[in-house]
Each structure stands twice: as C-alpha cells, then as structure tokens.
C-alpha cells in the first residue's frame, strides 16, 4: 500500500483503498473509525446497522480538500473492517426485539410469557456484550494514542466509548446533537436502549461532569424532570427555544457562544444525525420535524475548537439506509468534516 506522502488527493477515489479512498493503514493513521453495526433496540425505523458499509462506499466520492483543515487527511484516517459477528448478533436480537416490542405495545405482561421473558434477558445481555465490545476496542486504540470516531449503528453504541475515554482523560463533558434527550430509564425495559444512552452515561460514567444537549424536540415527562433536577449537570437547548430566540433577533453565533460556555475543557461530541433537518437524513430511525442545517452544527464545533477546548472523541450515529444513498452520502461528508476537525483539536 503506497504511503500517504505519495498519494494524489485529486485522483478518482479507489474503492480498493480505505475510507475516503485513502491508501491508509491503521498503524500509521492518527484517527481510526470504529464501525459498530448495532440496532437491536431501535423502536421505529430500522436499517442503521448497515450504515457503516454504506457510508464507507459513499466516502469514496468525497473530495479531500478541506479549507478549514488543509491536508488533515495526511495525518491518516483509517476505518476498521465491520465485525460480521457483531452484525449477525444485532440482526438476531433485533428480530427478538421486534416481537417483544409488538407484544408489550398491546398491553401484555412480560412475566406471563416465558418466551418474552427470555427474549428480554437475551436482549439486555446482548446490549451489555456490545457495550463491552466497544469499550475494549476503544480502550485498545486509546492506549495506542489513536483518535477514535465511532460510526453507528444506533445511539446505544456510545456508552462503551465514554467509559474508555473516562479512564484516559478523567473529567470531560458531552455535547449531544440530537432530536431526543435519550434520558429514558430502561425504555421498554431494555437496559441499554438507544433512548437511554445518556441516562446510562450519567449513571455509569461519574467523570462525565456535564451533558449539553442541543436541538432536542421530542421528549417525555421523565426526561424533562431529569433535566430540571440535574443540578446543572444537564443543560438542554431545545430546538423550539433556539428558534424562538433567533426569531426575536439573537444570532446563532451568540447562542453558540452560550452553549460553548457550558462545556468543560475536554469535550466529546455525540452526533445523532436526527438532530439535523430531515432533508439531510430522510431514513433516520426516529425522525422529528425541525432540526439544524449541517453548517450550523459544524460552525458550533469549529467555535468549540477556537475556544481552546479539546475534542477528545466523537460518534456519528442513527444514519439511515435508503434506496438512493442520500443518507449515506450526507453521513460520509459529515464524517469527513468531523475527522478533519478532530485532528485539528488542540492537545488531544
């Protein structure tokens, strides 16, 4: 495989190379993309477990020039192979989860059905297995001083990475871009639901000192109460409130500065693509009207770096799979921009 120094970024993307058509290898790459093909607990639209392979394919079409981080790719971006065993486990448990969700949605009691009781046990054990899989792989990469980007898969995949980051970095904050709070406790009795990932993070990662949520527009009473009673550990910028402030004359610049002021020095970005307007992610699993333009979020991230804060890791999750590959195209371009900003981050 040719070294990056001899690579021509203006040539046609080579599908035999790694992500973005780069002739990269893991050993020489600063940033490693870890695909996590998992969607067991999704509660509406499915397909995101296949997103990593679709994003990889679309990434070959991404132009490698980036005016914000010129030649960032020369630090090396590499995506690991998709773990087929993990994908098969997700597929199997997803079928069980579909039957289980259908059963409880009709008001049936789980304890009255031995099959459903076993399914719930299997699904929860599967979630614990996936979390540990992510933790072990991220820990291994972090110990090699790699920067890590998670590519989902549903939002439940983030927890293991957050645990690994806590061991390496100590205290840090999370900036969550999302249409949902993901603060439900054991949603549908699933211990590691995509709708519970931030609740689990707050419970299981004590060094996560601050969670700042941006773009939320679909949430329940339980989540509202948790935000209101978090003693400042959680700050939520609801989509409706952001837009109303803008309607009354505030700029996205001033709101962004306020958001950034809530964050500590070390920041993890958790990017659920449904935080964007649905025109960018029509096949995401749980779409909600409203949301951001892509450049609004990228502006916010750039301003975080300009403030001197460190971006210590990120995930990009809930990308859908559609017939025309638009979702994966947007996902690939976002992943490219985020990878470049990640290698720009100061003193990671």
What pLDDT is stored for residue 186 in this prediction? 87
CATH architecture of 4-344: 3-Layer(aba) Sandwich (3.40)
Q: How many helices (H) and strands (E) does the chain have?
A: 10, 8
- pLDDT digit string, tens, across residues 160-186: 999 999 999 999 999 999 999 999 998
Whole-angstrom Cα distance, residue 36 to residue 34?
6
Res 194: pLDDT: 96
Residue 249 has pLDDT above 50, yes or no: yes
Residue with the two structure tokens 């309607």? 247
Mean pLDDT throughout 260-270? 98
| Residues 6 or more apart in contact with residue 84 via CB below 8 angstroms | none
> Which helix (H) or strand (E) covers residue 103, if one does?
helix 84-105
Spell out where the chain has E strands.
Answer: 31-36, 77-79, 147-152, 172-177, 208-216, 234-238, 266-272, 310-317
pLDDT at 348: 54
Other C-beta atoms lying within 10 Å of the C-beta of residue 161: 28
Residue 241: per-residue pLDDT: 98
pLDDT at 2: 45
Cβ atoms of residues 161 and 36 within 8 Å: no
CA pseudo-torsion sign 268, 274, 280, 284 = positive
Query: What per-residue confidence (pLDDT) applies to 3?
Result: 67
What is the CB neighbour count within 10 angstroms for residue 146? Answer: 19
pTM over 0.85: yes
CA angle in degrees (0–180, nearest 5) for 316-319-325: 130
CA Rg, the chain, in Å? 20
CB 320 within 8 A of CB 125: no
Quick check: helix, strand or coil at residue 181? coil
The rounded distance, in Å, linking the Cα atoms of 162 and 168 is 10
Instruction: Give residue 347's pLDDT band: very low, low, confident or very high (50, 70, 90).
Output: low
Residue 294 clears pLDDT 60, i.e. is over it? yes
pLDDT at 298 > cutoff 90 = yes
For residues 192-197, give the mean pLDDT.
96
**1 pLDDT higher than 50:** no
Q: Mean pLDDT across the stretch 99-124?
A: 92
Domain ranges for the chain, please list them.
4-344
């Amino acid at each position: 495989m040719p070294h990056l120094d001899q690579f021509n970024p203006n040539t046609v993307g080579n599908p035999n190379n790694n992500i973005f058509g780069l002739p990269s290898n893991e050993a020489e790459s600063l940033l490693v993309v870890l695909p996590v093909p998992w969607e067991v607990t999704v509660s509406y639209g499915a397909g995101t477990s296949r997103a990593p392979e679709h994003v990889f394919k679309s990434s070959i079409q991404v132009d490698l020039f980036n005016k914000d981080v010129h030649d960032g790719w020369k630090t090396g971006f590499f995506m690991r192979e998709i773990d087929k065993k993990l994908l098969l486990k997700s597929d199997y448990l997803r079928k069980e989860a579909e039957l289980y969700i259908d059963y409880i949605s009709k008001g049936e009691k789980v304890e009255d059905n031995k099959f459903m009781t076993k399914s719930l046990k299997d699904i929860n054990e599967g979630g614990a297995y996936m979390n540990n899989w992510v933790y072990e792989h991220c820990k291994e990469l972090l110990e090699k001083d790699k920067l890590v980007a998670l590519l989902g898969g549903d939002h439940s995949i983030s927890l293991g990475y957050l645990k690994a980051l806590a061991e390496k970095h100590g205290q840090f904050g999370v900036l969550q871009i999302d249409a949902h709070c993901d603060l439900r406790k054991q949603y549908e009795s699933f211990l590691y639901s995509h709708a519970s990932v931030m609740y689990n993070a707050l419970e299981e990662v004590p060094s996560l000192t601050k969670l700042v949520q941006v773009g939320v527009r679909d949430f329940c009473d339980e989540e509202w109460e948790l935000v209101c009673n978090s003693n400042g550990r959680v700050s939520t910028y609801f989509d409706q409130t952001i837009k109303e402030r803008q309607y009354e004359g505030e700029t996205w610049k001033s709101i962004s500065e306020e958001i950034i002021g809530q964050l500590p020095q070390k920041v993890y970005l958790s990017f659920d693509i449904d935080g964007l307007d649905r025109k960018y992610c029509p096949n995401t699993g749980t779409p909600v009207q409203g949301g951001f333009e892509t450049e609004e979020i990228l502006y916010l991230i750039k301003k975080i770096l300009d403030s001197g804060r460190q971006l210590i890791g990120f995930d990009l999750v809930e990308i859908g799979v559609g017939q025309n590959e638009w979702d994966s195209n947007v996902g690939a371009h976002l992943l490219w921009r985020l990878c470049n900003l990640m290698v720009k981050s100061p003193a990671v």
